Structure 1
Amino acid sequence: MRKADLVARIAEKTEIPKVDVLVTLEEFFKQVKDSIAEGENVYVRGFGSFIAKKRARKVGRNIKANRAIEIPAHYIPAFKPAKVFVEKVKTNLKVEEKEQKEAVSK
């Protein structure tokens, strides 16, 4: 699903114009990005957490020059889904796999 599909679904279910949904969604994304960039995590109950994870310093390899390089410690954005979200995905995918197996066996 792309962003346009998501906007269309939300607009259809809420009967809010697509333009307004798009503006709201874009502002949500902007706020999440800005918050993470400032070191503030974003928690959405029942959905998950947008966090900044710290990567430790490590030694990498420049293959072309055939020498070791030091990669300094840095932060990366990450998403940690809520338990409710994880369970819903697991349950739905298990049902789908079971249906596929039954369809193949028939």
Structure 2
Amino acid sequence: MTHKELTAELAKRLGWTQARTSLVLESAVSIIGENLANSNSINIQGFGVFEARLRQERVSVNPVSKQRFLVPPKITPAFRPGQTVKDKLKNL
């Protein structure tokens, strides 16, 4: 589903204009992004948890030259689905 399709579906369900729905959706995404940047987790009940996870440093190997190099640690976003989402996916 694209951003445009999601906005249209939300607008239809809420009875709002697509412009208003798009603004609300962009605000929600912005809030989630800001919280993840600050290493806070976001729990949406019945949907899941967005969180920032620290990936440890590791040694990687270039397959062509066989040269080993160190990949530094980094913070990555992660999503853990809630039980409701897991149950819906299981029943497909």
On whether the aligned pair clears a TM of 0.5, the verdict is yes
Q: Which amino acid is 2:27 matched to?
A: E
Residue 45 of structure 1: aligned partner: 45
Aligned to 2:40, what secondary structure does the other structure show? Answer: coil
Corresponding residue pairs, total: 92
Which residue does the alignment assign to 1:25? Answer: 25
Q: Taking CA–CA contacts closer than 8 Å with sequence separation of 6 or more, which of the two structures ends up with the larger relative contact order?
A: 2
Shift of 1:66: 3.5
How far did 1:85 drift?
1.1
* Alpha-carbon distance, 1:65 to partner: 4.7
1:1-106 matches, cutoff 5 A: 1-63=1-63, 65-91=65-91, 93=92
Quote the Cα distance in structure 1 between the aligned partners of 2:13 and 2:76: 34
| TM-aligned CA deviation for residue 55 of structure 1 | 1.1
Taking the aligned partners of 1:42 and 1:75, their CA distance within structure 2 comes to 16
Unmatched tracts of structure 1, length 5 or more: 94-106
Which structure: greater helix fraction? 1
Over aligned residue pairs, what C-alpha RMSD do you find? 1.2
Rounded to whole Å, the distance in 1 between the matches of 2:89 and 2:66 is: 44
Deviation of 1:54 after TM superposition, in Å, equals: 1.6
Cα distance in 2 between the residues matched to 1:74 and 1:81: 22
Structure 2, unpaired ranges of 5+? none
- Code of the residue aligned with 1:86 in structure 2: it is K
For residues 90 and 8 of structure 1, the distance between their equivalents in structure 2, rounded to whole angstroms, comes to 27
Larger gyration radius, structure 1 or structure 2: 1
Residue identity (%): 25
What is the DSSP-based 3-state SS (H/G/I as helix, E as strand, rest coil) of the residue aligned with 1:40?
coil
